[in-house]
Amino acid sequence: MTITYEYYHSLYVNLTNRCSNACTFCVRNKHDDVNGKDNLWLEREPSLEEIKADFEKRDLSKYASVVFCGYGEPAMRFDDVIVIAKWLKEKQPDLPIRINTNGQANLICKRDVTPEMAGCIDCVSISLNAENPEKYQKLCQSEFGGETAFSGILDFAARAVKYVPEVVFSVVDIMPEAEIEACRKIAQDCGVKFRVREFIK
């Protein structure tokens, strides 16, 4: 069972295969791994003890950052993400911790979780994917519906900037230029950074 895996210079954490979206482009639809070696399908979700034990096998000083990002949405286990992030901060205070997310944590948890990231999460990278609810829902098929999901993502980002040093909306580089620019404007309006990332085929 792959709980942590190396990807580029960072150590990634695979907590769950559950997700509130069913994105048409999700890498999970095509591959079992992202780094060419570690199968990210979990036969069951690892316990907190198993996650900690997996980290104990790693030399954390080797990595540029720890990233919560597996074959599923980390916010499906938001409380456990925070427990592990706090534990890691005690072990290795200088190691940056990022969550790669669909931005639906507040909808998933049914509360505003953004204050809980203060002091333990250094970066939240949110996949925006589209410039309006209709396009978002067509691409991402959120269980919350397009309107609720899209407005929830923008609200989550705007709240998160108060507690997390770096909040980023990301889009993939295969989007039409006009849509990328519309997303850039949304990021500006929410007060978050914007990044165009490479699409993983």
Distant-in-sequence contacts of 84-87, Cβ < 8 A, 24+ apart: 84/13, 84/48, 84/51, 84/52, 84/55, 85/117, 85/120, 85/121, 86/120, 87/52
Among residues 4 and 14, whose Cβ is nearest to ligand SF4?
Answer: 14
Asked if residue 102 binds ligand SF4 (CB under 6 A), the reply is: yes
| Residues contacting 33, CB < 8 A, separation 6+ | 5, 39, 40
Asked if residue 1 binds ligand SF4 (CB under 6 A), the reply is: no
Distance, in Å, from the CA atom of 153 to the CA atom of 127, rounded to the nearest integer, reads 9
Beta-sheet strand order (sheet of 10-13): 4-7, 10-13, 66-68, 97-101, 123-127, 166-172, 193-197
128: exposed, middle or buried (C-beta count within 10 Å: 0-12, 13-18, 19+)? Answer: buried
Size of the site for ligand SF4 (CB under 6 A): 10
Taking CB under 6 A as the criterion, which residues in 49-88 touch ligand SF4? Answer: 72-73
Asked if residue 137 binds ligand SF4 (CB under 6 A), the reply is: no
Asked if residue 16 binds ligand SF4 (CB under 6 A), the reply is: no
Segment interacting with ligand SF4 (CB under 6 A) among 17-25, 48-56, 75-83, 172-180: 17-25
**Residues 123 and 88: beta-carbon distance below 8 Å:** no
Site string for ligand SF4, 20-39 (x = CB under 6 A): -xxx--x-x-----------
Among residues 114 and 129, whose Cβ is nearest to ligand SF4?
Answer: 129
Among residues 72 and 146, whose Cβ is nearest to ligand SF4?
Answer: 72
Q: Give the shortest CB-74-to-ligand SF4 separation in angstroms.
A: 9
Distance, in Å, from the CA atom of 175 to the CA atom of 10, rounded to the nearest integer, reads 26
Among residues 14 and 114, whose Cβ is nearest to ligand SF4?
Answer: 14
Among residues 29 and 61, whose Cβ is nearest to ligand SF4?
Answer: 29
Q: Which residues bind ligand SF4 (CB under 6 A)?
A: 19, 21-23, 26, 28, 72-73, 102, 140
